[in-house]
Amino acid sequence: MKALVTGVNGQLGRALLTCQPPGWACVALDRNTLDLADADAIARVVDREQPDLVLNAAAYTAVDRAESEPELAHAINAGAPAAFAKALAGTGGRLVQISTDFVFDGASGSAYRPADARNPRSVYGASKAAGEDAAGDNAVIVRTSWVHAAGGANFVRTMLRLMRERDELRVVADQIGSPTWASGLSQVLWGLAQAGQPGIYHHRDAGVASWYDFAVAIAEEAAQLGLLARIPAIIPIATSDYPTPAERPAFSVLDVSATRTLLGDAHVHWRTNLKNMLSEEKALG
């Protein structure tokens, strides 16, 4: 069986390659080998490789910059899954499209289910919602949130850098979601791909947190591992105290019960996976 994996230089793409199941051969694609804004290039690579599966781990993820680059964000986040879906319709392969909690507006008081109405509040969220629609009825669409991995560009590693540089950090405390370790997410993506049941699924680590909660946990766990010599003061602030070009959902916890039922897997708490990620970060030096 053959899979195309996009975004292999990103944290999720690397994790997908690391845990590929036995019996699968992966064709690794990065931005230098495939321009996701080029529908013709996507058609050519699918025609050439004839994959059984495409794991589209690449995306335009610069949430704030997307507000000023909406055309590029939509070309990559919606145009690429549309091109993959069209090309795979002719070869019989299946698309696994990764999406985001940003397709929701954050106004819910309970965890979002896969069938709940979307109402994105940012260009990034709208482009990912359009990508879900473009992926087609045969696709597996997996929404996730707050992804992190050792060596990646993410909140955890940003916090580690700032904690080493500053005596005080101010972190938003009124946006609630769930961190997700890329390694665990990649295993779920492979599991859903092989289950062969198209539809929309959610995956996140167990438990919920604010960005402030997450930052405090990062400091505590990193200090225990010797990644921090000291823990700076971490001050909770409101979203209004840290304005950004793109609006973030205030509450974006995803209901993952359908995914757990299908895969029958354990649901690991985000703090446990944060420890795992930081242990890998330490091993990288």
Q: Which residues are the active-site residues?
A: 124
Q: Do 4 and 45 touch, CB atoms closer than 8 A?
A: yes
Other CB atoms closer than 10 Å to residue 88's CB: what's the count? Answer: 25
Helix (H, G, I), strand (E, B) or coil at 181: strand
Angle among Cα 119, 123, 127 to the nearest 5 degrees reads 80
E strand map for 12-127: 25-29, 53-56, 94-100
CA distances from 219 to 49, 162, 256 (A): 45, 11, 27
> Contact, 198 vs 135, CB < 8 A?
no
